[in-house]
């Protein structure tokens, strides 16, 4: 492998490793939601009496909803357990792209498509579920910021592919 190809492979692996780390971190943080939200609410000084549209009021409302569902319907948390598991499984696919990006370019393409899909999902489903627009935009940012390393990685992988022909 030429020096230039090795440099592209190194860049690809760093970008994919960052993406994998983001997926794993996102997955692992979906398990202890109540504890995390309690910490966030304390840190922000969340206040249920805050005006509608206020971040502190939203956090307090979500905290209360998690407490009530945790107490009365603990099985609903199983859905976020599956969400966490899904993130971890998706991260596994990117290990293939880390090892051999040219052969597994489809993983990078699928990841980029998924990042694009985050935006309509957050905007449409978030509106249907009554999620405030600022929170939906935060959710959209995961797709945008996830797409950046994947787009770069896809571009670098295509260049690496041409070098290897």
**Tens digit of pLDDT for each residue in 99-135?**
999 999 999 999 999 999 999 999 999 999 999 999 9
CB 88 within 8 A of CB 112: no
Contacts of 29 (CB under 8 A, 6+ apart): 36, 84
- What pLDDT sits at residue 47? 79
- What pLDDT sits at residue 93? 96
10 Å Cβ neighbour count for 12? 24
- What pLDDT sits at residue 151? 97
Strands (E), 77-149: none
CA-based nearest residue to 93, from 162, 24, 5, 156: 24
Instruction: Give 50's DSSP letter.
Output: S
- What pLDDT sits at residue 54? 85
- What pLDDT sits at residue 51? 66
Residues of the chain with pLDDT under 50: none
What tokens appear for 17 in the block? 């490793």
């Amino acid at each position: 492998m030429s020096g230039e190809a090795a440099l592209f492979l190194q860049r690809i692996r760093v970008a994919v490793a960052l993406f994998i780390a983001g997926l794993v971190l996102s997955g692992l943080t979906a398990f202890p939601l109540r504890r995390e939200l309690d910490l966030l609410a304390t840190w922000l000084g969340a206040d249920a009496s805050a005006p509608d549209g206020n971040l502190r009021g939203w956090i307090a409302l979500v905290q209360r909803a998690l407490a009530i569902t945790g107490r009365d319907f603990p099985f609903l948390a199983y859905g976020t357990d599956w969400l966490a598991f899904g993130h971890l499984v998706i991260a596994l696919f990117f290990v293939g792209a880390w090892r051999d990006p040219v052969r597994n370019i489809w993983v990078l393409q699928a990841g980029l498509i998924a990042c694009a899909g985050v935006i309509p999902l957050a905007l449409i489903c978030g509106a249907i579920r009554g999620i405030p627009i600022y929170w939906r935009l935060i959710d959209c940012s995961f797709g945008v910021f996830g797409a950046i390393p994947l787009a770069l990685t896809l571009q670098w992988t295509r260049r690496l592919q041409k070098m290897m022909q």
